[in-house]
Structure formats: C-alpha cells, structure tokens
Amino acid sequence: MSNKKIMVSGIQPSNNLTLGNYLGALKPFVDLQKKYKMFVFIADLHAITNEFNRAMLLKNKKNIACLYCACGLDIKKTIIFNQSDVCSHNDLSHVLLCHTTLGELKRMTQFKTKALTKNDNNTSFIRTGLLTYPILMAADILLYDTDVVIVGADQKQHLELTRNLAIRMNNKYGKMFNIPQPFILKNASRIMDLVDAKIKMSKSNKNQNGVIYLLDDKQTIIKKIMTAKTDSFNKIRYDKKNQLEISNLLEIYASLTDKNINDIVKKYRNKNYKLFKEDLANIVVEKLDIIQKKFKKISKDFDKKIEPILKKNAEYCTAIVKRKTKLVYKKIGLTK
Ligand code: TYM
C-alpha cells in the first residue's frame, strides 16, 4: 500500500469547463498528482441539483472526462471515475443529512446567492438538491479517508461544513472519519469574471463575454481578453483593492505561466494595458490550443480507452468505500 496522503475532489459536468475551473482546481490536481494518491471524480450527482437536460448531461460527462486527461491528469495514476457509479456516495450522504440542521444548510453562501436572491426569500420553489448538495459533497470527501481537498475559494465553506460533520460524528459515535484539510491556492483560487470582476468566473454568469471556456476557439479567447474590463490608471499593478480587474488578469497570467506576479509586474512596468492583454491572450490561446488538440484526440478514443477505465475505477472505489459505509452503519447502530 502506498503511504501517500489522499486527495479527493470533483468538478460538476454542468457545462464545459471554464478557465476558473482549470486554474483553481484542475491545474493543481495535475501539478500535485505525483504527491498525493488522487481520486478525481466527475460530480454528476451534483450536476442534477441544477436545471439539466439528459443529452447535455451525458455529453458534458464525456467531455469532462476527456478534459481531465487532456489537461494532464494521468489516467494510470489518478483514479478518475463517475460519482454516480459509486453508490456509497448516496448512502453516506443520507446518514450525514440526518445529522445536519436546516440552519447550517441555509447559511451556505452558494445556496443563498443561487437560490434565495432569485426568489425573494420564498423557498417553496427551490429544488431541495440545491440546499442539500453540500452534504453530498461531505460524503464524497469523508468516504475516502481524505487528507486533502483541492478546491477553489468558493468551496471553502462547504469544506468547513464537511469538517464539522466529521468531528460531530466522531464525537458522538467514536472515530469513523478522517478530518480533511482544504487546499486552496494563494493565487487563482478565485478567478474573476472578465467583464465584472466583482463576481467569480462561472458557467452560470449571465454575460458570457467575461467567461473563458477551455474549448473556446482562438478568436473568441482573443476577443474576450482584449475586451476585458480594466481601469483608467493604465498602470499594471497587483492591487486587488484598487485595481481588481488588472490584478485578476495578472493572476491568470501568473498561474498559466507558473511565474511570480511581482516579476510579471516588473516586466510590464512601463507598458500599457493593450500590450499586456495581447501577451496574455497569446498565452491563453497557446495553452488552450495544446489542451484542445489533446482533447480532440482523446475524445475519439473515449469509448475504447477512457470509458472502460472509468468503469474499472468505479469498481475499485466501490470496494474501498463500502468498508467505510459498513463501519458507519455499525457505529451508529444500523447494523450489529
Ligand atoms: P464546481 O463544479 O462548481 O467547480 C469545480 C472546481 O473549480 C473551482 N472553481 C474555481 N476556482 C477558481 N476560480 C473560479 N472562478 C472557479 N470556478 C470554479 C471550484 O472551487 C471547484 O474546486 N461542489 C463542487 C464539486 C464537488 C466537490 C466534491 C469538490 C462535489 N463534491 C468533493 C471537492 C470535493 C462544485 O460544485 O464545484
């Protein structure tokens, strides 16, 4: 058995992946895959907590598996699988649900922003899945004796709930869960929208001009970056308080090139925004071109090469997490 620490994380197949997903989650998965034993799943059960369409869901699931590989996850080392193929995620989720209060769930910022604002605090029409999904996320993590969870900053609160639930269950019934640590990057933990830098870059943003997708074509990427909102200082500085937009572009630049932000600021000290944006657009185009070429190739081989591995991995995961649900059922008195 390897004595590497365990990392578990997932991304929802609710659309194509954004540059935010890549920089905040997928890239650190790739960068750290040698360090940890990694379980990276396609969070399909989470994707149905939003409005969804059957054909699109199937297509997105395939795309995200191919994108995981195209971005550099090594399918021989990293355990990639579909969440819904491992039934224990739901089993544990129910047990945790019964130990969570409504107040805890209603406090989740993502729930408040996604659901309540739209409905004037009238919760009658909000799908329950949107409320309970952080518990499913806790189950995803706690099943695997996870040490580390790589996520963007928007998931921090869900990680805190996961840790609280684990501590609560351990105190009440005796140790059954490892307490996981969040791993949130310093830069790129919250890539912001290019048009409105007050909101994070997200698949669900109304104005899609501020959202770069990993599968966007070259012209679209260039256009989105060249028209990204900036300020009137025309000075390239990393100052999130006063120059949020340019600081966001600097984080994207630094993260994609693995360079230090201060060095980039120095490089562009006397340069204007236009030149900086042109360089950044080239960097993004180049990076995404490599990913897209690999994606095309991998997609063709999906049925033969990727799908069988996903199935095999799900069987492997099912076997190991069954031990955990068995332990939990025994500890709480569902079985002897
Ligand atoms: P999801 O699918 O919304 O996002 C997947 C990952 O991408 C990160 N991310 C970002 N990082 C930086 N800047 C952004 N603009 C940006 N947008 C998204 C997210 O923080 C996340 O890490 N509930 C999760 C999926 C999930 C999960 C889990 C994660 C389900 N179970 C267990 C970890 C462990 C979600 O909806 O992420």
Is the pLDDT at 56 greater than 70? The verdict is yes
Closest CA to 284 of 69, 10, 23, 30: 23
Between CA 252 and CA 273 the distance in angstroms is 15
- Is 208-297 CATH 3.40.30.10? no
Task: Give the pLDDT confidence of 78-88 residue by residue, as tens digits.
Answer: 999 999 999 99
Give 1's pLDDT tier (boundaries 50, 70, 90). low
Q: Does ligand 1 lie within 6 Å of residue 248's CB atom?
A: no
- How many angstroms separate the alpha carbon of residue 241 from the centre of ligand 1? 25
Identify whether the C-beta of residue 137 lies closer than 8 Å to the C-beta of residue 158: yes
Say which range, 61-70, 201-210, 258-267, has the weakest mean pLDDT: 201-210
Specify the CATH number for 6-189+302-332; select among 3.40.190.10, 3.40.640.10, 1.10.10.10, 3.40.50.620. 3.40.50.620
pTM for this structure?
Answer: 0.96
- Confidence label for 329 from pLDDT (cuts 50, 70 and 90): very high
Per-domain residue ranges of the chain: 6-189+302-332, 208-297
Residue 211 · residue 193 · CB < 8 Å: yes
Positive or negative, the CA dihedral 52, 223, 28, 230 is: negative
- Token readout for 214 is 């990993």
Q: Ligand 1 pocket test: which of 108, 113, 155, 193 has the largest number of ligand atoms within 8 Å of its C-beta?
A: 155
CA of 26 to the centre of ligand 1 (A): 9
Task: Judge whether residue 120 has pLDDT over 60.
Answer: no
Query: Which is more confident, 175 or 122?
Result: 175
Tens-place pLDDT, residues 38-52? 999 999 999 999 889
String of DSSP letters for 285-305: HHHHHHHHHHHHHHHHTIIII
